[in-house]
Every structure is written in structure tokens, then in C-alpha cells.
Structure 1
Amino acid sequence: MPDSGTSTLFDDLREAVTAPDLTQAEALQLCRSGTLLRAMMLVIVVLGVGLMFDARSLTTWLGELSSAAAVAVPATLLWVLMACGARHLIAKTAPMVQVAAASALGAVAALALWWPMASVGMAPAHSTHAIAPALTGALLAALIFQSERWRQRARLPAAAAARLADLQTRIRPHFLFNTLNTAITLVQLDPKRAEEVLEDLSDLFRAALGALDQDTTVGAEIELSRRYLAIEQLRFGRRLDVEWDLDPHAAAAKLPPLALQPLIENAVRHGIEPADKGGTIEIRTRRRRDRVLISVTNTVARGPSKPGHGIGIASVRERLRLMHDLDADFRSGLTEDGRYRVSIGLPC
């Protein structure tokens, strides 16, 4: 019989690919900066193209576009804020009702910005009646809402591919064999320590084969990484020096499951294992206002190291993008002092 954890993983992948519809407004992630940025760009482009049909010159078109943008840009921001605040109510309705609700909020947002300008004679020349900005706001809101839904659907195959790639990085045969050999050696020398190693290994594989759709936290990922490094410490001994610099206020930030351990495993494989004298791995977390910063830094071996495929880092980067969109920041490369660092920035 197949392993239940593996079956659960592939069931999750199949459901992700065959999901029939996105009926939850929350799934559209309306409260993120990426949504606001795409909405602003879409509104400006649509207005710009529409105003081209009546513009007699480039100067006239730029003037009309700037006048329309004076209403459209703050109205778009207001719509995103209202849609974000009402997302829990919108999520309880049918898909068509969701679009209608988004359109109604768009009309309200457009009128809320147009009316004060019209009262002082500053309204755009093409919107002398309230019906024009109301319909424009409603149509643009519906277009933005639907485009976010289409974008979410298009991301489902990418999410499945990222999960498959992640599965390839999670179960490394050499790590499993080395750990089992270490446990076998410890059975006679230190049975209690051998039991602890097998418990740590069990926890790692339980997380690796667990449900990928359940978000985890920085604190949970740190604890899992400690277990992984405890196993590797038995193999490398003094060659592996680990420095922890952790901010307790960063522990609650959301992460995809098993996002940190593959980065630390890469640091061990490419920074510690090929070095005769070993090296140092530094794991650091910090909270800065509404952002959490995570870094994994390792010394680099002077001699040749095993070439990597980049699957682990690519998988973590992709899953962070799928979870946090443009709010996540992922960087990797050599530092000025010759060490290799992977840095992650997350919203709280």
C-alpha cells in the first residue's frame, strides 16, 4: 500500500490542478500591494487608450489623461481598500454576485472622488454627468476583479509545478542513508541519542510529506531546522558551527511549509561538506515594523564543491511568490566578505 503521507501530497496536487472554480474572494488576495499595483496600471492603460479616440494632439491627450487620473488613481485605491475590507462578506456569495458587488463598490469609489471635484468645477471634461464616472468605475472594478480571478486560475498549474519540484528537494537519499547509518552506529554506543536522531528524522519526513496547503510560521520552521541541524551535527561534529540570531517577534510571520530547511540544507551541502575544516552557518531573523527579515548565511569552501541544480532555492522562491505575491522579497548571492547569503523579506 502507498504511504498515506505521499498519497495526501499527490491528492493535494491533483486538487490544485483540477480545481473547478474560484468562488472565494479571499483567494483573490485583494489586500496585497501586488493587487493595488496591477489595478492602478490597468486603470491608467484603459483610460489612456479610451482618451486616444477623441484627443486631437499628444498634448491634449496628456492633459486629459492627467485630469482623468486625478480621479481614477485615488478612486482605485479607495476601491481596493473597500474590497479588501468587505472580502469576508463578498466571499460568502456566488461568483456572479461577487462581480456585481465589486462593480458596485467601483461605482461608489468613482463617485466619491468625482463628486467633490465636480462641485468645484474640476471634474474631467468627459464626465459632466454622474452616470459617466459611475459606469466607468463599475466596469473597471469588474475588469480588475475578474482579471485577478483569471490570474489566480493561471497560477494553479505553476503552484502544482512548484510543489512537484519541492517534492524532489525534500527527500534526499544521501541524507536519509547518512542519518540511518549514524543512528545504527549510536544504537550500541548511545541508545538514547540514537532514539533522538530517529525522532528528529521522523519529524522531518512528516513535515516533508505533510499537507502543503497548510501555512506554517517562522517559529515552526526554525524548530524544524534545529532538528535537521542536530542530525547533521552528529555527522560533521566540530566542522559544523551554527550561529542562531533570532528575534522572537518574527516567529509568527507566515511561511510556506518547509521553506527554511532546504535553504539550510543547501548551506550544509555546498558550504560545510566540501570544506576540509568545515564552516559556519548563521540563521538570523528580524522584525522591522510590518516586515520580517530572514537570512541564512554560510561560509564558502575554497575548493570545488558539488554543483547544484538550484531546485531547492527556485522552489522556495516560487512558493513564497505564490503565498505573498509582490510582498515577498527573495535574494541570494555572495556577500562582500565572501560568504553566501539567502535573504527573505515577508509581511507580518
Structure 2
Amino acid sequence: MVVVGILLVWYILTAGGSTPERWIRYMLTAFLVTFTSNFLFNLFSSIDIGTLSYYLCWFFKTLFHIGLIVGTFTWCGYADTEAGHQNYARRDKRNPHYIPFIIPIVFIIINFKTHWAFSIDSELNYVRGWMYQLEMIYLIIASSCLSLSLIYANRKEQDPHKMLHILVTASFPIAMLVGWTLSFIGEGVPVICVAITIETLCLALGNSNIRISVDKLTMVNNRNNLIGFINYKIKNNNGNLYLLMLDIDRFKSINDNYGHLIGDQALVLATQILKTACKPYNKRPYIARYGGDEFIIVLEAQYSEIEELCNNINKLMALESQKTDYKLSVSIGVAKYEEGMTYSDFINKADSELYKVKNKRVLN
């Protein structure tokens, strides 16, 4: 409970307003309510204050179950966002993805009459019902579906740090399953709470590491993460490793003529174009903002595929330029990795090729 509370405060103070960060804040809040309710149940079940103890125990255990359901729902929202779907993020009261989680909450609320999920006996002992087992199976299956979707959507990911975070995130149903299985031993240790605490701690810390490695404006990898990734690929590649350095043409004139806000929008638009152009590849190309209006793409491919990627980027830039007041285009320098190169050699070679392309355009 204390760990999740500290994580929540830390996230409120440090995290931004992106959709994944909001989902993590919601998840931490829901599980903090869950764990606090479980703690308060144990507290009041050991204190004899007459009938009030009985009703408080009912209330806190009901809140525990609702928090567990809402916490699982918010994890599904986070996993769905990380998978690139955004289904749970839709601000629509009729969003069908809410229904599977509203139904079990309704059953928990009416449990005071039915006693299907749990009951509290005269000695304030917590007694599980058949619907509790069904509730846990239901939550594990629902989260497992999102877990598999998350792994499948990121199967092309090349960044080892991001892939590790994806696997940690996808392990949530396993934590739930382990906690539920061990809970049959007894209620002396809140194993479900412990399992979820460990999972949320790993997930929150992993997400923080990802945030540190991402450029805040364009939401692609930043320069520091880029260097680590290039060093990783130098040691792990198939012999066809390429680095593309891209520079937005006449970007200073966009800033001067339309303002820095429009200039920032141009950078974001360029990033979206790069992401779109890179989508078809079996191994996801790594995109990073190198600095200012310069971007780098690292990928393993045949040279014909590199030419095709460059052409697609230029075509998409031209199409988007028809929708803006400014012309958006890029110059691209291409370098192939050669044995013995350091990361700086690799970048400098692409930068040299970019310089040649720009000079050729000026002469023409």
C-alpha cells in the first residue's frame, strides 16, 4: 500500500499528460484504493465496535473488489494504448470496451444481498463465494487477451529496452494468476496485493525509463537513447545495417515566417510521416530525433528497401505539404555500417552523405 502510494505521488509530480501516463496514474489510484480497503478491513475485523464493525467490513471488502476490477480495467487501458489501439481511451459513454468491466462491478455492489462473491460471518471472517472465483478467472482472461494483443502489436520492436518493458507489462495476468493461486493457502498474507504491487512497481519504473528516453515534442526516441541503440545494433546485426540522417529543408524559414509554434507542429508532422513510412517493415525501423530539425532512422534492410523507404518518405512529405501553408520536404543521407565503425563514425558517415545531398540541391 505504501509503495503504491509513493509511486502515485511520484507520478502525479513528475509524469506528463500523455495517454499512457494517465492510464498509469489511474491504475495506481485504483490499486491504492484496493490495498487500503484490504488494510482497513483487517483493521476493523480485529476491533469490536459492535454492528458498525460488521458493516465497515462489508464496505471495505466491497471496495476492495471494485478497486481490483477498476485497476485491471485501467491496466487494460494502458496495455491497449501501448499496443497502439486507443480503444479504451475513447471518451465515449457508449464505449463497448467499458461494458465487460461494468458488469462485474454491478454484481459486487449487489453482493450485499446475494452473497455470491463473498460474505462476512458473525465473527467478521471473510468467506469467499463462487462468484469470487469466477471474478478472478474473468479478470485474468480479460487481461490475458490484452496481454497477447500487446505482444503481437510489438513483435517488430527492435529496441531491447522497449521490448523488455512490453514483456513486463504483458506479465500482469501472470501476476494476477499467481496471486490468486497462492491465495488459496489462506488470507494471512494478502498475496494478490503483494503480486500486484510488484507488478505495478516494475511497470511504473519501466515506463519512467521509457519516458526518459523519449523526445517530449515528437514522442520518438531522443539522442541519448539513440546512441545506446546504435551501440546495441553494432553488436547485433545481420550485416545490412543502415543509418538514415534526415534534415527538414528550409526549416528556419518555417520558424521565421510562421512562428515557432507552427515550426513545432511541422516537426510533429514530419515525425508522423516517418512513422507511417516505416510501418510496412518486418523489423520496426528505429526513429530518433537527433537534434533540432534532424532525425535518424536505423534499420536492417536490403539497399533496395532503403531506396523504397526514402521514396515513400518524400512522397508522403509532398502529399502533406498540400495540406499546409508551408512546404515540407527532407534531405536524406544514407550510410551502411562497416566493420570496425563506432557509433560516431556511423553517424558522421550519414551526416557526410546528407551534406552532399544538400549541396547537390543548392547547385541544382
> So what's the TM-score if we normalise by structure 1?
0.24
Q: Which is bigger in relative contact order (C-alpha 8 A, separation at least 6)? A: 1
Normalised by the size of structure 2, how large is the TM-score?
Answer: 0.23
